[in-house]
Chains A and B, each alone.
Chain A
Amino acid sequence: DQQVKQNSPSLSVQEGRISILNCDYTNSMFDYFLWYKKYPAEGPTFLISISSIKDKNEDGRFTVFLNKSAKHLSLHIVPSQPGDSAVYFCAASATNTGNQFYFGTGTSLTVIP
């Protein structure tokens, strides 16, 4: 079964507004979480990560929030720009399993100018 889930396959947001992408996981042993951005015909590019000892990590316009009790993480993009239009994948790994990655199925973000 999918251990990492992204239940929204697509999201459209107006330029300048906030984009919120959500990700849920089932394995409580996951202790490291990542977000990737993917353009068509390219490999996913690492965007931002968060360790389970934190509940928030910020990098410029991108902020990742982690709610361990809910097994939920989210990526906030503020303000959204047309260049942010891409597919976003969340991934999780657990130190005690050799850091294997478990990816969600992706959310396609469209930022409307």
Chain B
Amino acid sequence: GAVVSQHPSRVICKSGTSVKIECRSLDFQATTMFWYRQFPKQSLMLMATSNEGSKATYEQGVEKDKFLINHASLTLSTLTVTSAHPEDSSFYICSATPLADTQYFGPGTRLTVL
């Protein structure tokens, strides 16, 4: 079965540093990957849609200069939280779609900014 991995699973960093989170589809090619952030009451907010070979599409209210997304290949998308602050502490989840209309979610990355 299809698997999507995220690395790291947890990261703790100091305020002002940048953190990179990787999302990989392990056994399928994903032309599209999505990045979500978990908010209280456990709902996931769609942050951006990442398409291989083109610029990501950000949702309204998401700062593209703060949350840099690079979809370098058909199996890898990265989210870089630049100059992280404590309010960026959250759970970030990616999902990937092969050509079919199915989403495979990664296990998430917990970011804690001190």
Contact = CB atoms under 8 A, between A and B. Distances in A.
Interface of A: 1-2, 5, 9, 34, 36, 41-46, 49, 87, 89, 91, 98-103, 105-106
Contacts of B42: 34, 46, 49
Contacts of A46: 41-43
Interface in B94-109: 95, 102-105, 107-108
A98 to B, nearest CB: 6
Interface stretch (B2-10, B14-22, B68-76, B81-89): B2-10
B107 A105 contact: no
A73 to B, nearest CB: 16
B12 interface: no
Given A1-B1, A87-B103, A105-B104, 20 more contacts: A2-B2, A2-B104, A5-B1, A41-B46, A42-B46, A43-B36, A43-B46, A44-B43, A45-B43, A46-B41, A46-B42, A98-B110, A100-B9, A102-B107, A103-B95, A103-B103, A103-B104, A105-B2, A106-B102, A106-B103
A4 to B, nearest CB: 9
A interface secondary structure, majority: loop
B33 interface: no
A21 to B, nearest CB: 15
A59 B19 CA distance: 38
A101 B43 contact: no
B103 A105 contact: yes
B93 interface: yes
